[in-house]
Structure 1
Amino acid sequence: MGRLQVVGAAVADGTGRDPMDVDVTVEDGWITQLGASGDEPGERLDAGGLTMTPGLIDAHVHLGLSSPIQPQFSFQISAAEIAADIFATAGAALDAGFTTVRDTGGIDGGVVTTIAKGKVRGPRVLSCGPVQCQIGGHGYYGADWEPTELWSGHHLPGLCALSMMSGNADELRGNVREAFRRGASFLKLCVTGGVVSAHDRLTDTQFTVEEIAVAVQEAAARGTYVTVHAHNNEGIRNAVEAGARCVEHGTDLDEPTATLMATRGVALVPTFAVVERLLHDPAEAGLGESVRDRVLGVRERMTEALAAAKEAGVRIGLGSDLIGPAQDRRGEELRLRAELETPMEALVAATKTNAEILGLSDQVGVIAPGMQADLVLWNGNPLEDPKLFADPANAVLVVQAGRVVKDLR
């Protein structure tokens, strides 16, 4: 792989410090030096006028939901087309500047290994495999008449598996062990109803504290953690009490619950981009118009939840939660967060903080010697104009582990 020297860029290193005019030296995939690069041999890349950031991280993606949702789960789309859509979405993530993603439900282990082997373009992927759901809870998309036991027939081994249904703690234990057998590196449970649901409400809680604790125990036995899909405070508190380490969405998070999360060291990953997309056009994701009614008010409440979490000192990451075919503008999440915070806070959430939440803070998330060379060069300065994050065309060069994976120069 050799040496690569990137010279002339304004470097926003992911820590929150103002951009610095420093050269970045990369050797064999790792950053070895910040500062004047001298005349050492190797490729020299002139990045004058561009802004460098760490490779972005999306902590909430659904690669396995890259086809229209309802047609996918009613057997109207072939396995070949589903695979093509998944791998197109993976490549689009790189093109948008995302070099690492955490898949929070929908893919099976074959997708992770196929991308890791370099057979298709895509980011580094951490996956929970199928989501863990209670019978009939959020994550079940079978027809009303379809018996629960037939749901696993929607899985395509090695490609996609959205969710596994559990009726009690023993079944959940068996299902999470099966998820780990398939290659999961963490677990996700749905502990409340969801926006894109047919059989529940956002106010519903799902799984008991004792049931969630079973998944936490099984994750801890493998040195990993549980994150939970949760919109209401009762579900969040159940998950925190059981030992979950992260909460996805957190739409109705209030101040006491945010304080509890901060005290227990539980992180939050808000997801604004999917809300905007579903408000705009549910059909674009292959969903019915009823979804729009369920998402009304979520954006405003999630904004209040973000403020409560910040006030309490909760570690707050960033996730897009995009679903369906239109997942090419993943950086929209940074633009939306920049409107609620600052562009720098959005960048730090998408780099340093997300790396901490994913357990990768010793490898990625900041630009510093000893870290993997995941780098993005932006046309202009997205910290002054965060709309630049939302358009993949502005990510003119993407480097992943020292390899140039996109170059529009």
Structure 2
Amino acid sequence: MRKAVREFLALGVDNIKLSMTGDYVHEHMGSEETYFTLAETRAAVEEAHSRGKHVCAHARSAASVKLCAMTGVDVIYHASYVDDEGMKLLESIKDRVFVAPAINFPLTSCTGEAIPFGLTPEMAAKKKLKEEVEIASKAMIKMRERGIKVLPGGDYGFAWAPHGTYARDLAHFVNLFGFTPMEAIISATAWGGELMGHPDQLGKILPGYYADVILVDGNPLEDIEILQDKDRIHTIVLNGHVHKNITGEGQPKRVPKPTALPVMNADGSFDWKIKREVVQPIMK
């Protein structure tokens, strides 16, 4: 393990990712099974941290989350099946650890959006993706209540979850995880700056910070889903440079809001009323 990490560090990587668990889209190892031992995980983290590099992990199982917490992994992706012991460990290190559930991929696999690409909701349910969405959502609610930093992002770039649609995560945080719209925005901005190691330069609109700003037609605190409407994002400023600026006559074209996605009810049950239109594939 140390040899492998050193080889990657010699190639100039800034981050080591450990694939610690299986995944229900794979055939031979499920999401609740764990590849790594405590010694292996600790060795990887020690090697990376000794060179000032970060470690993240694909960790869905309860055991893998605990290994991450015990060894100092910086970012945990998924953590879907975390148990009470793992939750307590995460809470004890909440000042330094980040969790990114990457919920959009399993969620959209269950909504019919993947049908044109060969994955039906029935197939997704058989692979336990629907079950994982429900279990992971309840886990993220508990993490929010405990003050553990849960961030959006991850697992975009699939045909039915393409790049450029990341703002969907913010709606998932509100609809499934119990975040307020402001909390969801903070998790994507201020906490993102912390995760990147620049809490005094990124993620906030303050003197001395990089001028990364968007101007939106509407109030995302009233409707978080307007951030998915690119025509309502009038201005994009990155490091003080304007990359998009809608000015002049009239208002931009309004595109329909995303149709209904699953929502968690007050009793913890899920309402899977899927109404989203199936997108036809671009490729033949």
The answer, yes or no, to whether TM exceeds 0.5 is yes
**Under a length normalisation based on structure 1, what TM-score does the superposition of the two structures give?**
0.54
Pick one of 198, 207, 218 that aligns with 1:380. Answer: 218
158, 165, 182: which one aligns with 1:324: 158
2:191 aligns with one of 342, 353, 358? 353
Q: 1:263 is matched with which residue?
A: 92
Deviations 1:145-180 (A, max 9, x none): xxxxxxxxxxxxxxxxxxxxxxxx3xxx33323333
- RCO higher in 1 or 2 (8 Å CA, sep ≥ 6)? 1
After TM superposition, give the deviation of residue 374 of structure 1 in Å: 0.7
Instruction: Tell me the residue number matched to 2:273.
Output: none
SS at match of 2:203: coil
1:276 Cα deviation (Å)?
2.1
How far does the alpha carbon of each residue in 1:244-291 deviate from its partner, in whole angstroms, 9 at most, with x for none? Answer: 12211111223331111121342211222222221123355x565545
Deviation string 1:45-92 (CA, Å, 9 cap, x unpaired) is xxxxxxxxxxxxxxxxxxxxxxxxxxxxxxxxxxxxxxxxxxxxxxxx
Residue-pair matches, total: 237
Aligned to 2:12: 183
Q: Distance in 1 between matches of 2:9 and 2:164?
A: 29
Q: CA deviation at 1:321?
A: 1.9
| Contact 2:32-2:81 at 8 Å conserved across structures | no
> Counterpart in 1 of 2:136?
302
1:238-253 mapped onto 2 (5 Å cutoff): 238-253=67-82
- 2:140 and 2:202 mapped to 1: Cα distance? 25
Structural RMSD (CA): 1.9
Q: 1:320 to 1:191 in 2, by over 3 A?
A: closer
Local SS of the residue matching 1:330 = coil
Deviations 1:272-318 (A, max 9, x none): 2222221123355x565545532121111111111221232212222
Aligned residue for 2:282? Answer: none
Match for residue 364 of structure 1? 202
Correspondence for 1:232: 61
Bigger mean CA deviation after superposition, 190-199 or 332-341: 190-199
Q: Which one of the candidate residues 334, 337, 357 is aligned to 2:170?
A: 334
Identify the residue that residue 274 of structure 1 maps to in structure 2.
105
Q: Which runs of 4+ in 1 moved over 3 A?
A: 281-284, 286-292
Match of 1:297, SS? helix
Instruction: Measure the CA separation in 1 of the matches of 2:224 and 2:119.
Output: 32
Instruction: Answer whether contact 2:31 2:61 (CA < 8 A) is retained.
Output: yes
- Change over 3 Å in CA distance of 1:242–1:375 after alignment to 2: same
Report the secondary structure of 2:244's partner residue.
strand
TM-score, normalising length from structure 2?
0.77
Residues 177, 287 of structure 1: alpha-carbon distance in 2 compared, 3 angstrom cutoff: farther
More strand by share: 1
Secondary structure of 1:388 counterpart: helix
Contiguous gaps of at least 5 residues in structure 1: 1-168
Structure index of larger Rg:
1
Percent of matched pairs sharing the same residue: 28
